[in-house]
Amino acid sequence: MSTDDTTTTDDSTSNCGASTTDTDDSTSSCGGSTTDTDDSASSCGGASGSSDSSGCGASSDTDSNEQTVSATVDDFDADPGSLVAVGLGPGRPEGMTDRATAALADAEHIVGYTTYVDLLPDEITDDAEEIYDTPMCGEVSRTEEAVDRALAGNHVAIIGSGDPNVYALAGLALEITESKGATPSMLDFEVVPGVPAAQSCGARLGAPLVNDSVSISLSDHLTPMPEIESRLHAVASEEFTISIYNPWSRKRRENFQKACEILLAHRDADTPVGIVHGAGREDEEVEITTLGELESYGETDLIDMTTTVVIGNAETYVFDDRMVTPRGYETKYDY
Ligand SMILES: C[S@@+](CC[C@H](N)C(=O)[O-])C[C@H]1O[C@@H](n2cnc3c(N)ncnc32)[C@H](O)[C@@H]1O
């Protein structure tokens, strides 16, 4: 089967085996709740799908609690299947670990954000029984769909770029499992790591992350901007290399500008900064600049939702177009 003929989206009905009662066009059936009538709900658990209209990533007053979990473990008759959260790494199949490839090959159902599903190799999508993808911001409904399909007896993989533990859905999968009265053991829940964007991007830039480093996301979808600002002040004032995830979007322009201001309040304008767009993907672009120049890149194609920005520490320097953050060997050894 190709992706085209197996893919179901949150606009269409998907059947994962157990339930036979759902008829609503926009629902999917996994053997869970049979009472759901909400247009945007999944009968596999009935997440409201409200995240699709949340202005995800925008500065908004969306209450993510609006996305409720409906089916509980008692609504499923079948013996549970399994759930694995798989990190795809930066993008291309060759960036996936063998373990990730094997976990996806074993999965009957693959659930993910449409962009990530599009990154999967054909042999994986061809072999999957079902692929369920949703557009950006459907994280809660998508994750609940994965949990419900597993509770309904299927072997399910929920996928994401990079690593499932880095601004991704491994934690949400466990939270939703708990909220349904199920347990990770019941689902043989497993996380298969992938190379996170900070590391993929660090590799493209040289060696900027060799000493203590932190990651911070500028997305205010779930964390209010004042909290992000205070975290940025805290990390920028210390000797960390900083990887900035979710640096920019049209609705998030001010966040990027504000972040540049905060970083400049703590670090020299000539601090080296690496910008990597689409690491390991076809549209990969790499640029090394300075903190003083960083804000001007906010209005270019280089910085968007598939870009990670790496801010050097006070020791970071540029050598032949590579960022180098010394580990400290030079203080102990002569070379
Ligand atoms: C929701 S986070 C997911 C992070 C992912 N779980 C990881 O481990 O890399 C999305 C952000 O990761 C970063 N990102 C993901 N893939 C990337 C890539 N191929 N190149 C550069 N940055 C990437 C971007 O900052 C993007 O806004």
Q: Which atom of ligand 1 is nearest to the CA of 168?
A: 6
| Helix %, strand %, coil % of the chain (to 5) | 35, 20, 45
The tens digit of pLDDT for each residue in 158-170 reads 999 999 999 999 9
Q: Measure the CA angle with vertex 282, ends 281 and 283; round to 5°.
A: 95
CA distances from 70 to 17, 25, 52 (A): 18, 18, 18
- Count of Cβ atoms closer than 10 Å to residue 57 Cβ: 20
**Residue 108, amino acid:** E
- Compute, in angstroms, the gap from residue 245 CA to the centroid of ligand 1: 6
List the one residue out of 175, 149, 128 whose CA is nearest residue 31: 149
Q: Measure the CA angle with vertex 291, ends 286 and 295; round to 5°.
A: 80
Domains of the chain listed by start with CATH number: 3-192 (3.40.1010.10), 197-324 (3.30.950.10)
| Pairwise CA distance, residues 178 & 184, whole Å | 8
Structure tokens at 298: 């906010």
Structure tokens at 107: 């999965």
More confident residue, 104 or 92: 104
Residue 119 clears pLDDT 70, i.e. is over it: yes
Q: Measure the CA angle with vertex 94, ends 91 and 100; round to 5°.
A: 80
The tens digit of pLDDT for each residue in 311-334 reads 999 999 999 999 999 999 999 999
Check: CB of residue 306 under 8 Å from CB of residue 251.
no
Q: Is the CB of 197 inside a 6 Å radius of any atom of ligand 1? A: yes
Confidence band of 6 (pLDDT split at 50, 70, 90): very low
What pLDDT shows up at residue 45?
38
| Ligand 1, atom 25, residue with closest C-alpha | 245
Q: Is the CB of 281 inside a 6 Å radius of any atom of ligand 1? A: yes
- Compute, in angstroms, the gap from residue 51 CA to the centroid of ligand 1: 19
- Compute, in angstroms, the gap from residue 218 CA to the centroid of ligand 1: 12
The tens digit of pLDDT for each residue in 227-246 reads 999 999 999 999 999 999 99
| Ligand 1, atom 12, residue with closest C-alpha | 245
Check: CB of residue 326 under 8 Å from CB of residue 224.
no
| Ligand 1, atom 1, residue with closest C-alpha | 167
